[in-house]
């Protein structure tokens, strides 16, 4: 039998060295006992001869070291033996830790988890009390951890409260911070700790006031703040009276009829949008304001806002797209997303100044379905295109452009008032009965969707070509005028 003695309850390095030597000497887990120095009188048991100094090394998964470092802080006295048994078995099966259903793996994992939780609760439930005032004050806490976690938890407090000296006193060991380094001293009795702080009454009133007596959930509280922590929490003495009063307070609120308001309650009717927009030419700003409340079709419900057209009132070209996309819906401006960037580049290459054109969409709300964290674009249907056409008509009347460029099928349908194929009609100005001159082309987002780089490049060139035709048509009409 080998009797291993570790320096302290948290002596991971000592355990590691001893375990390595034992394993390399092929000492079975059942032939080892473990204890911590000075926690028990020496027993006069026959001991095996000292181990040979270890020859060579062996590998364990990094995850085992992480687990063992945590589990060794558990208060269970069997932990050293359990960890050695797991180490021993790991040498025969390197994947053992992956088998979370193995009893040894499960127990070590549960111990590590318990230590981790205790550390987390120590971060949460330590309550400092101030000794002395302001400049020279020192913050001291009394805490009773379940496991040997003080050294583990101390760096958190050092990083958080670096600018103030503090001490955390516990029955096992104490941690201190002087502004430069953490030091560890032996444990003390609770009587060493301060018993009051000038802020505690204020904290207790906060605790009582933030509690909603109408929604008592005592078990939920106790699950996260078990009763063993209560004796060191200044607010915990309020728990019992708050619970006892809760039913009365809540039913009193329910029973008490509302008092007369000291100010008149004026209730406004929800605003109603005009059912029919006025006919006739308006300026764009008036139209934009009116369209902001548009409810002519249901698309407004799920969208952020109406995305109205934008550009110079004196524009000679009016570009019409399909509908705003994700970015446009958020920003409230047309063509600011990826398709907008593509359009800007193409306009530039075609020699058209975007600042001098008017840009809008056939449908002015974003139609989509939510899929987790993204919104999937949906093509607007005919009733939606029809419902929104009034705005296009009024924009057209306000801007009076020489040429309308309809980009994509939805825009063509709106501008022509009927379904109009792109390829049959693209690339040449078409005069409509109402005197509007239209050039049909593709929507820039069509170019973005093409999977093949070569097709994308050639379609892009055709798009720029169409825009050049638009620019050319303008110059001609300018000459004619």
Partner 1 sequence: MDLQRKLEILADAAKYDASCASSGTEQRDSSDGKGLGSTAPGMGICHSYAPDGRCISLLKVLLTNACNYDCLYCVNRTSSNVPRARFTVDEVVKLTIDFYRRNYIEGLFLSSGIIRSPDYTMEQVVSVARKLREEHRFRGYIHLKTIPEADDALIVEAGKYADRLSINIEMPLENSLAKFAPEKDVRAIRRTMGRLRLKLDEARENGKAATKAKPPRFAPAGQSTQMIIGADAADDKTILDTSANLYGSYRLKRVYYSAFSPIPDASRALPLVPPPLLREHRLYQADWLIRFYGFDANEIVDETAGMLPLDIDPKLAWALRHRDRFPLDVATASREELLRVPGFGTRAVDRIIATRRLTSIRLADLARLHIPQKKALPFIVLSDHRPSPRLLDGAGLKQRFKPKAMQLGFGF
> Site residues for partner 1, window 19-38 (CB under 8 A)?
none
The binding track of 213-252 with respect to partner 1, each residue x by CB under 8 A or -, is: xxxxxxxxx--xx-------x-x---xx-xx--x---x--
Among candidate residues 339, 473, 479, 322, the one with its CA nearest the CA of residue 401: 473
How many Å apart are CA 469 and CA 427, to the nearest integer? 7
How many Å apart are CA 302 and CA 279, to the nearest integer? 28
> From the CB of 463, what's the least distance to partner 1, in Å?
27
Among residues 41, 53, 103, 435, the one that binds partner 1 under rule CB under 8 A:
103
Establish if 341 lies at the interface with partner 1 (CB under 8 A): no
Give phi and psi for 45, each to the nearest 5: -110, 145
Residues present in the chain in total? 481
The answer to whether residues 300 and 329 touch, using CB atoms and an 8 Å cutoff, is no
Q: 146 to 175, contacts with partner 1 by CB under 8 A?
A: 156-164
Establish if 117 lies at the interface with partner 1 (CB under 8 A): no
State the virtual CA torsion across 53, 55, 60, 64 in degrees, nearest 10. 10
Q: 378 to 437, contacts with partner 1 by CB under 8 A?
A: none
Q: How many residues bind partner 1 (CB under 8 A)?
A: 93
Among residues 46, 56, 370, 451, the one that binds partner 1 under rule CB under 8 A:
370
Establish if 126 lies at the interface with partner 1 (CB under 8 A): yes
Establish if 131 lies at the interface with partner 1 (CB under 8 A): no
Give phi and psi for 376, each to the nearest 5: -90, 125
Among candidate residues 430, 466, 478, the one with its CA nearest the CA of residue 349: 466
Structure token digits, residue 204 = 């207790």
Region near partner 1 per CB under 8 A, out of 3-11, 26-34, 35-43, 364-372: 364-372
The nearer residue to partner 1, 210 or 453, going by C-beta atoms, is 210
Structure token digits, residue 418 = 């009927």
Other CB atoms within 10 Å distance of the CB of residue 402: 19
Establish if 261 lies at the interface with partner 1 (CB under 8 A): yes
The nearer residue to partner 1, 68 or 96, going by C-beta atoms, is 96
Q: 311 to 340, contacts with partner 1 by CB under 8 A?
A: 327, 329-332
The nearer residue to partner 1, 100 or 276, going by C-beta atoms, is 100
Among candidate residues 233, 239, 238, the one with its CA nearest the CA of residue 129: 233
Structure token digits, residue 295 = 């409810």
> From the CB of 435, what's the least distance to partner 1, in Å?
36
Residues 6 or more apart whose CB falls under 8 angstroms from that of 19 comprise: 83, 84, 87
Q: 440 to 469, contacts with partner 1 by CB under 8 A?
A: none
Q: 80 to 99, contacts with partner 1 by CB under 8 A?
A: 95, 98-99
Among residues 67, 72, 141, 343, the one that binds partner 1 under rule CB under 8 A:
141
Among residues 36, 131, 292, 450, the one that binds partner 1 under rule CB under 8 A:
292
The binding track of 173-212 with respect to partner 1, each residue x by CB under 8 A or -, is: ------x-----------------x-x-xxx-xxxxxxxx
Task: Please compute Rg for the chain using Cα positions.
Answer: 38
> From the CB of 444, what's the least distance to partner 1, in Å?
20
How many Å apart are CA 62 and CA 336, to the nearest integer? 49
Helix (H, G, I), strand (E, B) or coil at 43: coil
Structure token digits, residue 302 = 């799920």
Tell me the C-alpha to C-alpha distance, in Å, between residue 293 and each of 199, 287, 302.
52, 11, 14
Region near partner 1 per CB under 8 A, out of 65-73, 254-262, 281-289, 471-479: 254-262
> From the CB of 442, what's the least distance to partner 1, in Å?
27
> From the CB of 67, what's the least distance to partner 1, in Å?
14
The nearer residue to partner 1, 262 or 479, going by C-beta atoms, is 262
Among candidate residues 464, 471, 429, the one with its CA nearest the CA of residue 444: 464
Percent of the chain as helix, strand, coil, to the nearest 5: 50, 15, 40
> From the CB of 15, what's the least distance to partner 1, in Å?
25
How many Å apart are CA 364 and CA 347, to the nearest integer? 22
The nearer residue to partner 1, 88 or 177, going by C-beta atoms, is 177
> From the CB of 154, what's the least distance to partner 1, in Å?
13
Region near partner 1 per CB under 8 A, out of 55-63, 126-134, 186-194, 459-467: 126-134
Tell me the C-alpha to C-alpha distance, in Å, between residue 76 and each of 2, 40, 303.
20, 16, 58
């Amino acid at each position: 039998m080998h009797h291993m003695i570790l320096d302290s309850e948290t002596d991971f390095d000592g355990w590691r060295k001893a375990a390595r030597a034992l394993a390399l000497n092929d000492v079975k887990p059942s032939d080892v006992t473990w204890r911590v120095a000075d926690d028990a009188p020496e027993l006069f048991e026959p001991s095996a001869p000292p181990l040979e100094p270890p020859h060579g090394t062996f590998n364990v998964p990094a995850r085992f070291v992480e687990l063992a470092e945590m589990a060794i802080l558990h208060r269970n006295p069997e932990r050293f033996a359990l960890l050695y048994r797991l180490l021993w078995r790991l040498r025969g099966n390197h994947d053992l830790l992956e088998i979370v259903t193995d009893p040894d793996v499960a127990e070590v994992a549960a111990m590590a988890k318990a230590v981790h939780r205790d550390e987390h609760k120590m971060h949460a439930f330590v309550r400092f009390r101030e000794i002395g005032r302001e400049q020279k004050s020192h913050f001291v806490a009394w805490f009773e951890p379940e496991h040997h976690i003080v050294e583990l938890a101390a760096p958190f407090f050092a990083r958080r409260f670096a600018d103030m000296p503090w001490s955390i006193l516990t029955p096992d060991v104490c941690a201190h911070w002087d502004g430069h380094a953490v030091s560890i001293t032996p444990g003390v009795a609770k009587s060493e700790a301060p018993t009051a702080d000038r802020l505690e009454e204020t904290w207790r009133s906060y605790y009582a006031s933030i509690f909603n007596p109408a929604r008592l959930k005592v078990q939920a509280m106790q699950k996260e703040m078990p009763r063993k922590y209560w004796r060191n929490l200044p607010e915990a003495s309020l728990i019992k009276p708050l619970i006892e009063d809760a039913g009365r307070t809540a039913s009193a609120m329910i029973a008490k009829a509302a008092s007369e308001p000291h100010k008149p309650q004026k209730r406004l009717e929800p605003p109603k949008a005009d059912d029919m927009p006025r006919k006739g030419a308006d300026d764009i700003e008036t139209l934009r304001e009116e369209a902001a409340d548009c409810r002519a079709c249901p698309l407004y419900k799920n969208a952020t806002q109406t995305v109205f057209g934008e550009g110079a009132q004196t524009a000679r070209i009016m570009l019409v797209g399909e509908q705003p996309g994700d970015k446009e819906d958020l920003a409230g401006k047309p063509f600011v997303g990826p398709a907008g960037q593509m359009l800007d580049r193409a306009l530039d290459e075609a020699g058209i100044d975007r600042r001098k054109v008017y840009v809008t969409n056939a449908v002015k709300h974003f139609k989509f379905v939510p899929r987790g964290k993204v919104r999937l674009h949906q093509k607007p249907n005919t009733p939606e295109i029809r419902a929104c056409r009034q705005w296009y008509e009024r924009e057209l009347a306000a801007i009076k452009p020489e040429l309308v460029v309809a980009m994509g099928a939805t825009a063509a349908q709106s501008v022509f008032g009927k379904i109009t194929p792109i390829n049959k009609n693209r690339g040449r100005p078409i005069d409509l009965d109402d005197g509007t001159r239209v050039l049909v082309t593709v929507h820039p987002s069509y170019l973005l969707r093409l999977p093949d780089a070569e097709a994308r490049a050639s379609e892009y060139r055709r798009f720029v070509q169409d825009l050049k035709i638009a620019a050319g048509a303008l110059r001609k009409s300018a000459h004619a005028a």
